[in-house]
Chain A
Amino acid sequence: MRNRVKEQRAAHGLSQADLGAALGVSRQTVISIESGRYLPSLPLAFRIARFFDMPVDKMFDPEDEESGS
């Protein structure tokens, strides 16, 4: 599943530590989410989407999984 966390974080000029602090997770978790190694829980996905003022389905794109890749 692709996500736009890294792109949005960079656009807002935030470090991974800043974003982690704002979301209540560790810097390592932000790194894992950005790289796609960790799929966040639904509450955290919503927190991320709300933080960047985006719909959750725009922030997290399941297209890759649906196409069977």
Chain B
Amino acid sequence: MITFIPPRLRVPLLYGIATLLFAAAWVVRGGKTWWFAILVIVTGFVRVAVLYRGGGTDTDAGALAGSRADERLKVVSTRSWALSGRTAMIASFLGVTAAIAVRAEWWWPFAVMLVLTGFGYLFGLSNNGFDSEDQDGAYAERNEPSPSRR
């Protein structure tokens, strides 16, 4: 579905949707601080405008904001996401460990994060060809020399 959206709009649109969801959560929460939702929307949409404007600039940040990353920027971005995922996993592990130690009731959000990041890692391995058998390996299994060694 996202391919139907012009590339320059994709990141600002996702940011806008996230802003609206977060603001909606404040409204649903109710109470005296409901007005915080307005602040979230205003600052969020200023950020959306900045992202859209930045998406047109000839910089690495502009290319990321404008969804026109080339292979180098995709590598850089993937490494950053990997670091982000690793950080989340370590933080959730520390959180669940600390919660267990102090017999806290807030252990489960950390456990959920730990399971999700762990599942994401395993899914990433299987999705990116982990442990795929190459042709030489297949020949070796049958104790035959591969064609390249005959």
Chain A residues contacting B71 (CB-CB under 8 Å) are 25, 29, 40-41, 44
In the complex, chain B residues 38-94 whose Cβ is within 8 Å of any chain A Cβ: 58-60, 63, 70-73, 75
> Shortest CB–CB separation between residue B66 and chain A, in angstroms?
11
Chain B min CB distance to A36 (Å):
13
Q: Shortest beta-carbon distance, B34 to chain A, in Å? A: 44
Chain B residues with CB under 8 Å of A40's CB are: 71-72
CA distance A44 to B73 in the complex (A): 14
Q: Which residues of B contact A32 (CB under 8 A)?
A: 72
B70 touches A25 (CB 8 A): yes
The residue on A at minimum CB distance from B70 is A25
CB atoms of A24 and B72 under 8 A apart: no
A41 neighbours in B (Cβ, 8 Å): 71
A29, B70: Cβ atoms under 8 Å?
Answer: yes
Note all chain B residues with C-beta closer than 8 A to A28: 59-60, 63, 72-73
User: What A residues does B63 contact at CB under 8 A?
Assistant: 26, 28
Within 8 Å of chain B (Cβ to Cβ): is A38?
yes
Chain A residues within 8 Å of B73, by CB: 26, 28-29
Q: How far is the CA of A41 from the CA of B58 in the complex (A)?
A: 22
Asked if A27 and B58 sit within 8 Å, CB to CB, the answer is yes
What is the CB-to-nearest-CB distance from A20 to chain B, in angstroms, rounded to a whole number? 8
Chain B residues whose CB sits within 8 angstroms of the CB of A26 once the complex forms:
58, 60, 63, 70, 72-73
Interface residues in A22-61 by Cβ distance below 8 A to B read: 24-29, 32-33, 38, 40-41, 44
Could you say which residues of chain B place their CB within 8 Å of the CB of A29? 70-73
Given contacts A26-B73, A33-B72, 6 further A-B contacts (CB under 8 A): A25-B70, A26-B60, A26-B70, A28-B59, A28-B72, A40-B72
- B residues near A (Cβ < 8 Å) are 58-60, 63, 70-73, 75
Lowest 3 CB-CB distances: which A-B pairs, in order?
Answer: A25-B70, A29-B72, A38-B72
| Interfacial residues, chain A to chain B (CB-CB below 8 A) | 17, 24-29, 32-33, 38, 40-41, 44
